[in-house]
């Protein structure tokens, strides 16, 4: 049986390194995916380098850039953790959802 090749993680330093690719065009307004979440991303803005990668990768367009910093709309954030995984400074922590 043929061995599967191990995929390498690609590190982007800023959104300028990200190749042109489709991104979500908008949140699913009829489906507030925030209700799915059991962990939530919290951004430590003192460590944020304003690269915009979290904004670029969020599949629900739940991150906006305001005053050059990312802001999460928790009505639509489903807690997938992609933003935390891709953040180059690891300043997004996934924490247990508070009810």
What are the residues binding ligand SF4 (CB under 6 A)? 41, 43, 48-54, 58, 60, 62-63, 70, 72, 77-83, 87-89, 91-92
Q: CA-CA distance, 88 to 99, in Å (whole number)?
A: 29
CB of 29 to ligand SF4, least distance (A): 15
Q: Least distance from C-beta 74 to ligand SF4, angstroms?
A: 8
Distance CA 25, CA 40 (A): 22
Our CB check for ligand SF4 shows the closer of 6 and 39 to be 39
- Judged by beta carbon, residue 7 or residue 55, the one nearer ligand SF4 is 55
Among positive and negative, which fits the CA dihedral 60, 69, 91, 34? negative
Minimal distance, residue 99 CB to ligand SF4, in Å: 17
Residue 55 C-beta: closest distance to ligand SF4, Å = 7
Q: Give yes or no for a contact between 33 and 78, defined as CB atoms under 8 angstroms apart.
A: yes
DSSP E strands: which ranges in the chain? 39-43, 63-66, 69-72, 92-96
Comparing CB distances to ligand SF4, the nearer of 18 and 91 is 91
């Amino acid at each position: 049986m043929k061995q599967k090749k191990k995929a390498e993680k690609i590190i982007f330093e800023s959104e300028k390194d990200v190749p042109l690719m489709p991104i979500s065009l908008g949140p699913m307004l009829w489906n507030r995916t925030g209700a799915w979440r059991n962990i939530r991303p919290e951004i430590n803005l003192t460590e944020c380098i304003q690269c915009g990668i979290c904004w670029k990768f969020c599949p629900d367009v739940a991150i906006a850039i305001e005053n050059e910093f990312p802001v999460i709309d928790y009505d639509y954030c489903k807690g997938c953790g992609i933003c935390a995984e891709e953040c180059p400074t690891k300043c997004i922590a996934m924490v247990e959802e508070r009810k």
